[in-house]
Amino acid sequence: MEKKELKPRLLRKGLWKPEEDLILKKYVETHGEGNWATVSQKSGLMRGGKSCRLRWKNYLRPNIKRGRMSDEEKDLIIRLHKLLGNRWSLIAGRLPGRTDNEVKNFWNTHLNKKGSRAKPTNINRNNKNKLHQLPPSHPIDGESLANTSGGPEVDGREEDITFTSPRVEAAKSFNYGPKSPLLPTNDASFFYDDETFIPILDSFVLFGTYGSNGEGP
């Protein structure tokens, strides 16, 4: 598949330059998302389609929220990870403005080290100890769970976020948007019983993933 992109053309790798960002952004604005494989030809970018897609999705897309995770986001990630495991895209889909890559990185750097690892994966990196050896037992440290009530509302950052991703739209149409029990609400009583939710969420997630509005098979 994408092996085609590896054909011995002079595809650039590594960090994106601002001018490359600009080109990609303009390209997507005029042509829309999709057809990533042809982006390099059409835009003149010496980047693979995969690279372009990732760059757009993670950084150039509108409504991307950068910066530190709020306590609520952190808490939500912990909880969702407990329920969903390493399904970063699903988790990110419930954090408006956050990308799966960001959530994944955040988990691996900030949360993972605290002693949480729902599914111990092959973390035998022999060089640096980036992934920390963790007791597989309890994925969540009690401290984070304790402050579930949400506290003050994410300093108003949520308000200008618009849901534009197809997945989020699908989720919304499935009544799965900000009113979802998995997302904090305005009343500071955001709380649910994880265990109770697991079976529900499982089918929920499946449904949401495949879509209930014609998105699925």
Where along the sequence are the contacts to DNA (CB under 7 A)?
1-2, 4, 6, 12-16, 34-37, 47-51, 53-55, 57-59, 86-90, 100-102, 104-106, 108-110, 113, 119, 121-123, 125, 128-131, 167, 209-210, 215-217
Confirm if 137 and 107 have CB atoms less than 8 A apart.
no
Whether 96 and 161 have beta carbons less than 8 Å apart is answered as yes
Closest approach of DNA to the CB of residue 170, in Å = 11
Residue (27 or 106) nearer to DNA, CB = 106
Cβ distance to DNA smaller for residue 100 or 153: 100
The least CB distance from residue 161 to DNA, in Å, is 18
Nearest CB to DNA, comparing residues 140 and 168: 168
Q: How far is the CB of 122 from DNA (least distance, A)?
A: 4
Closest to 165 in 3D by CA, of 76, 19, 33: 33
If one counts every other C-beta atom within 10 angstroms of the C-beta of residue 89, the result is 14
Q: Between 111 and 140, name the residue whose CB sits nearer to DNA.
A: 111
User: Strand, coil or helix: what is 8?
Assistant: coil
CA angle 46, 52, 55 (to 5 degrees): 125
Neighbours of 148 (CB within 10 A): 18
Closest distance of CB 116 from DNA, Å:
13
In the block, residue with structure tokens 């080290």: 113
C-beta of 200: minimal distance to DNA in Å? Answer: 19
Which segments of the chain are extended strands (E)?
Answer: none
For DNA, the closer of residues 37 and 154 by Cβ is 37
